[in-house]
Every structure is written in C-alpha cells, then in structure tokens.
Amino acid sequence: MSREKVPLEKISDYTWQIPKYKPGMRVPGMVFANKELLEKMHTDRTLWQCVNVAHLPGIYKYAITLPDGHEGYGFPIGGVAATDYEEGVISPGGVGYDINCGVRLVTTNLTEQDIRPKLGQLTNTIFENVPCGLGSRRKDFRVSVHDLERLVMEGVHWAVDHGLGWDEDIKHHEERGCMENADPDKISTTAKNRGLTQIGTLGSGNHFLEIQKVDKIFDDRVAKTFGIEHEGQVTIMIHCGSRGFGHQICSDYLRVMERAVQKYKIILPDRELACAPGKSREAEDYYKAMACAVNYAFVNRQTIMHWVRQSFQKVFKKDPETFGLNLVYDVAHNIAKIETHQVNGERKKVWVHRKGATRAFPPEHPEIPADYRSVGQPVLIPGSMGTSSWLLVGTEKAMNTTFGSTAHGAGRMLSRHAAKKRFWGGDVKKALEQRGIFVRSASSVVLAEEADPAYKNVDVVAEVSDRVGIATKVARFVPLAVVKG
Amino acid sequence: MEHTADAYIAAYGRNLMEAFENAALAMFEVMTDVGKIEPKIEDYVEVEAKDECALLYSWLEALLVKFDVEKMLYSKFKVLKMDETVEGLRLEAKIWGEKFNSKKHPQKVGVKAVTYHRMEVIKEPNKVTLKFILDI
C-alpha cells in the first residue's frame, strides 16, 4: 500500500496538489513543500496518509500537508483537516496521542555575555528543578485527584492561583490558557492516575527546554511587539505536552471511536482515522476530554516555566522579574478546535484538526491577545536539539489557505533506530559542547536519537512557510544550553 | 525496523502467547536495559479486546500504565490464558519486575503510547510474529 506512487500536480514551487484520483476522496490533497521536502515525503507514507485524510466525511477544501509533514498514525504529522461542524467528523487521530504538545517562548533582558559566566550553573539548576526523563518527578509537587480535576477545568488560571506564575502570563496563551468545555467526568480513572504522576514533568523523546539567544531578526516591528529587542538577547523555549494523561485520553477515545465507526457506518481507508459525526455524543465526549488534556498541557508548561524562573532566582540571587522572564506566547501543536472559516465564499463552523501544526491567525483576529492584535499571532516552530528555532507571525493568507495554520517543527528525516546507529550520545554531547552549547540529558540514548541530522532542516520549513505566506519570519533563535529527558 | 517517527518492533514466539510475552519484553527494552530489571515483584494483568491487534494494544498499554502510575518495570512475563469471549478475546498473565530506580536502570526513551500503526499479527506454522510501533 505504501508502494503506490501518489500523483502530484505542481501549482507553484511550494504548492502541490494531490488530485481526487481515488473514488473515496471527497477533496483533493494540498501539500506545501519545496522539492527537497517533497522528495522526503515520497519515501514514507506521508502523502498516502494525506490521501486517506481526504476521505473523511464532511472535509472542506483539501487535506493539508505542511512543509514539515511526515508519517504519523492515521493522519500525517504536519497536517490540517477541517470538517463541517455538523455534517463532518472529529477524529482523535487528527489530534494525536500527545494532545496539546506545544511550545512556549520566554524573553529575558539579558545578553549572551551577561549569562555566559553562569550558563553551566544555570543549566544544572534547571536540570535539577525540572523533572525530565524516564519516571522522574518532583517530590515537593504533588496534586490530588481533586486538584487534577480543578486544573483541567481551569487551565493556567489554576497554576497562577497556586503561585505558579504571574497574572500577565494568562493572556499570552492560545485559548488564554484555558479551553472551555473541559469535563473531567469524560476521562477515565486510568487517565487521571497517569496524569497525577506526570504533571510538572518535561518527559522524554523530542521534548526539550532550551536557553537560546536571538540569532537574527527578520521583522523589527513585529519582533519588538513580541518583546524581541535585539540580536544576542537571551530567550527560553519550553517544548512538551500533556504526557501520559493526554496519551491515555487519546487511547481511550480511539476505542470509543472504533465503536462509533461501526455504529454510524462510516467507511474509512485506515483504522487509525476512527472518528465520530460532529453532532454525536461520542464527538462531544471526546472534545470535552480532549479539552482536559489541552488545559493539563498548558499547566504543565506553565509549571515548568515557573521552575525556570526560580532557577534564575537561585543562580543570580535576584527576583526573577529583574530579568524580564516574560512569557511571549504558548501555542498548541496537537489540537482540534471549533472555529469559523470562509469556505467557498461562505462562513462555516468547522472542526479544525491541527496535528503537528501551529495556529497562525492574522492581525486583528479576536483570538489574539490585545497587545499583539495589530501584528498577528506569534507562531513558534522549535527546531531539533542543537539547531535553530523560529518565531513567525500569522497571516491573512493562512486564514484563506490553511484554515489559519502553518508548520510546527522540523520533522524527522532518520528513524530513531537509524539515528542511534549513526550517532552516539556521548559524541553528540561533545559536538554540541564544542559549539559552546551546554547539554544536560537524562539519557544518552535520547541524545543520539535526537541528534540534529536526524531532523529536516527547520530553516527550510520556516522558509517554505514564509514563501507560501502562511506565517512569515520574525526571528530565529539558536541554543546556548539544552535540557532534555 | 525503520519508521521515522518512532520505535518499530517485531516480536516473535512459537505461539501467540509467547509472542505477546516477547512484545512486552521489547517494550521495556525501549525504555531501559531489561537485563537490569530483577523479577522480584509478581503482579497479574487481565485485558479484554475485540481482536488480536486490539488485544496486543491493550496488553502493552496496561503494562505502560503500570510504569506510569506505579513506576514498575517488568522483565518476566507469563501469559496464562488467552480465551475467546462474547466480546472477543481475553488475556490473563503473570508479570514479574521491580520498581524503577534511576541509579540501577539505565534510562533510554520513555514510551508515550502504543499505536495501531503498521500493527500486524503474522501466523506461520510454529511461529508467530507481532509487528507494532511505539510512539516515543
């Protein structure tokens, strides 16, 4: 099945259409990539999965694969699908296991020179304060089942109320840090138990925390609006998600949706696209459960950011406010949303599935915090360990083209196994340290698997997004220190 | 096996029960070195699912949850029974392991989830192969 060559028609250098060449396809596929990225997509099932997504009932316009697209489960990672709110379906596979896996960017008023003498100490302190890697957690941070139920309903408000952040952090989150409709009665005891032990942990694999510096500014005005003042400015990026809590919710609802597929007689080309009609009870339950995981992930990143602020305080012996440490924005990369979009000249209420995709709303959109509304929504695209990361800004073009979405990251080039064979953890660490990048990792296997040549070049991904115009370049960051699971 | 997102595993056995035991062992090998997990504590797992793929998924997930919630790692598995039920299939197993200790058990990669992606149950005479991908 993966051997069949998916047909592509060139629209422009960065846009390719997959025609409706199969009878079950309700819409074409649309792929945003340059030749190099497209060639990579041909080597796995990315495009084949894009074709499968085009089969979903009620899907509008086209199934979208973004420049960082790679093979996922059911849906490709780096994809967007919008389905009609009533006639369409919602699919947990279109969100993924790590619900609200996302990124936040924090600015400081320090320069590389200011931080360099203390960088090792700061990195070690963060590594001690932020649990990462297999099975780690902080002994002094425990939540009860009651706390868990509150935090999944209240999101980042819960964190701030419990002293884990500042009031002004709240507005700088997608959904203002709290997705409505979260209902803990819709999640299993197993999910709750997994959630209890993993709140406030970075996790393993591709998740990371980096101390970075602004490497290059591409758009001065927009950068300044987001608090990026000059090249060399120190920033912090935190990349993680909803941990075992979100994974269990996804898993539980894949079972629910499998039954729904039979009940509602939905015909699908792949078991992992399991879904339910928008107006069904199954869809409503999933959406309410998913919102719990979304809020959990906001709290997770907020808590980790709080411990980073405390680490600055410990190392520099001054209040964290002294260093700025302002949250620029927190975005979700794996999420489903109810949004209104223009489809064939009509306003339509849709389920937007963003799986490995970043919302990229244009200037003046009401969902954007007031202080950013004149320029557009900040879009955060983390690179892989040791490479650059990007800040872009959402556009009107994204609204019209990709249901207000763009890419989310680098996307893997090598399988983890292949990466391990080619790179050895110790060498990876040494190579990064030779470039002046401090590395603390709980696992040398993770270091090898996450070695940067294992990923597509994130610069190319950001460039394609910029050229297509679905989010334009604002600033690029490079790491000074990396903390990994 | 190669899959760009994750760990693609093939587990073998002379029969389905043995292949399930080896699949579990492979999953813990992704997380740590199973040679370092002493089978000190005995536990019992029971899962039900509608078909063989779903049973494999549920079996591995049940073990993963034990790690997430109880911090238990396992290195010895004995599938006692695999029965057909009205709903599909039921599995009962005894498992042996110990609590995760970061000083004793080398950290490899955390497993996020079991997936159905590319999952296969291949039956040949005296040989069963299970293929599956773990999201890591």
Structure confidence at residue A444 (pLDDT): 78
Q: Which of A12-26, A314-328, A332-346, A435-449 has the lowest mean pLDDT?
A: A435-449
The pLDDT of A179-197, averaged and rounded, is 96
Cross-chain residue pair A97–B117, CB shorter than 8 Å: no
> Of the given ranges (A36-50, A124-138, A211-225, A414-428), which has the lowest mean pLDDT?
A414-428
Cα-Cα-Cα-Cα dihedral sign, residues A335, A340, A342, A347: positive
In the structure, what pLDDT confidence band is assigned to residue B5 with cuts at 50, 70 and 90? low
Say yes or no to pLDDT of A447 above 90: no
Q: Residue B107: which of A251, A413, A442 has the nearest Cβ? A: A442
What's the confidence (pLDDT) of residue A129?
A: 96
Of A268, A290, A266, A262, the closest CA to residue A353 belongs to: A290
**In this complex, which of A44, A134, A445 lies closest to B100 when CB atoms are compared?**
A134
Q: Which residues of A touch B109 (CB under 8 A)?
A: 134, 204-205, 416, 443, 445-446, 449
Residue B5: HSE in the Cβ half-sphere, 13 Å Cα cutoff: 30
- Assess whether pLDDT exceeds 90 at residue A56: yes
Residue B32 in this model has a pLDDT that exceeds 70: yes
Judged by CB atoms closer than 8 Å, whether chains meet at A73 and B117 is answered as: yes
Average pLDDT over residues A14-27: 97
The number of angstroms, rounded, from the C-alpha of A414 to the middle of its chain's C-alpha atoms is 20
pLDDT band at A420; cut points 50, 70, 90:
confident
Is A173 domain-assigned?
Answer: yes
Distance CA A290, CA A133 (A): 24
**CA distance, residue B97 to nearest chain A CA (Å):** 15
Taking the CB of residue A413, how many other CB atoms lie within 10 A of it? 18
Residues of A with a known catalytic role: 408
Decide if A251 and B114 are in contact by the 8 Å CB cutoff.
yes
DSSP-derived 3-state class of residue B131: strand
**In this complex, how many residue pairs, one in chain A and one in chain B, have their CB atoms less than 8 Å apart?**
112
The tokens for A462 are: 């950001």
User: SS3 of A67, please?
Assistant: strand
pLDDT at B2: 46
| Chain B residue with minimum CA distance to A412 | B4
Which sequence spans correspond to the domains of chain B? 7-135
pLDDT per residue over A193-243, tens digit each? 999 999 999 988 789 999 999 999 999 999 999 999 999 999 999 999 999
- Asked if pLDDT for residue B1 goes beyond 70, the answer is no
Determine the length of chain B. 136
Query: Which chain B residues are closer than 8 Å to A97 by Cβ?
Result: 112-113, 115, 135
The CATH number given to B7-135 is: 3.55.10.10
Q: What is the pLDDT of residue A312?
A: 97
Whether the complex's predicted ipTM surpasses the cut of 0.90: no
Chain A partners within 8 Å of B31 (Cβ)? 134
What is the pLDDT, as a whole number, of residue A52? 97
Please indicate, yes or no, if residue A412 is contained in any of the structural domains.
Answer: yes
- The pLDDT assigned to A412 comes to 67
Mean pLDDT within A22-41: 95
How many structural domains comprise chain A?
A: 1
Give the structural domain span for A440.
Answer: 102-144+166-178+199-242+296-331+375-484
Position A77 pLDDT exceeds 90: yes
pLDDT tens for each residue of A291-307:
999 999 999 999 999 99
Closest residue by Cα to residue A409 from A357, A370, A453:
A357
The token duo for A209 is: 């925390």
Cα–Cα distances (Å) from A285 to A153, A252, A265, A336, A355, in that order, read 14, 11, 19, 13, 19
Instruction: Give the predicted TM-score (pTM) of the model.
Output: 0.94
Interface mutation target, options A3, A39, A413, A416, chain B, most CBs of B under 10 Å: A416
The per-residue pLDDT for B117 is 87
Q: What is the pLDDT of residue A341?
A: 98
Ramachandran region, residue A58 (left: φ > 0; alpha: ψ -120 to 50; beta: rest): left
* Residues above pLDDT 70, as percent of chain B: 96
What is the arithmetic mean of pLDDT over A105-128?
96
A393-406 mean pLDDT? 98
- CB contact under 8 Å between B136 and A205, yes or no, is yes
Query: Is B129 strand, coil or helix?
Result: strand
Q: What string of H, E and C letters represents the secondary structure of A160-224? A: HHCCCCCHHHHHHEHHHHCCCCCCHHHCCHHHHHHHHHHCCCCCCCCCEEEEEEEEEECCHHHHH
Mean per-residue pLDDT, A40-55: 94
Determine the pLDDT at residue A419: 72
Assign residue A215 the CATH number of its domain: 3.90.1860.10
Residues in A closer than 8 angstroms to B1, CB to CB, are 417
Q: Hey, are the CB atoms on B65 and A248 less than 8 Å from each other?
A: yes
Query: Residue A454 has what pLDDT?
Result: 66
Q: Chain B residues with CB inside 8 Å of A205's CB? A: 109-110, 112, 136
Mean pLDDT of the A121-145 span: 92
Helix (H), strand (E) at residue A458: helix A458-468
Measured between CA atoms, the residue of chain B closest to residue A2 is B118
The set of residues, in sequence order, having a beta carbon less than 8 Å from that of A119 and lying 6+ positions away, is A211, A438, A480, A481
Judging contacts by C-beta atoms under 8 Å, the chain A residues touching residue B106 are 443
Among A136, A254, A449, the residue with its CB nearest the CB of B109 is A449
> Does A19 score more than 70 pLDDT?
yes
Compute the mean pLDDT over every residue in chain A, rounded to the nearest whole number: 94
Confidence of residue A1 (pLDDT cuts 50, 70, 90): very low
Residue of chain A with shortest Cα separation from B114: A251
Angle at A209 between CA A387 and CA A33, to 5 degrees: 40
- Tell whether A47 is covered by a domain: no
Contact A134 B136 (CB under 8 A): no
Q: Which residues of B touch A (CB under 8 A)?
A: 1-8, 31-32, 61, 64-65, 67-69, 71, 100, 102, 105-110, 112-117, 133, 135-136
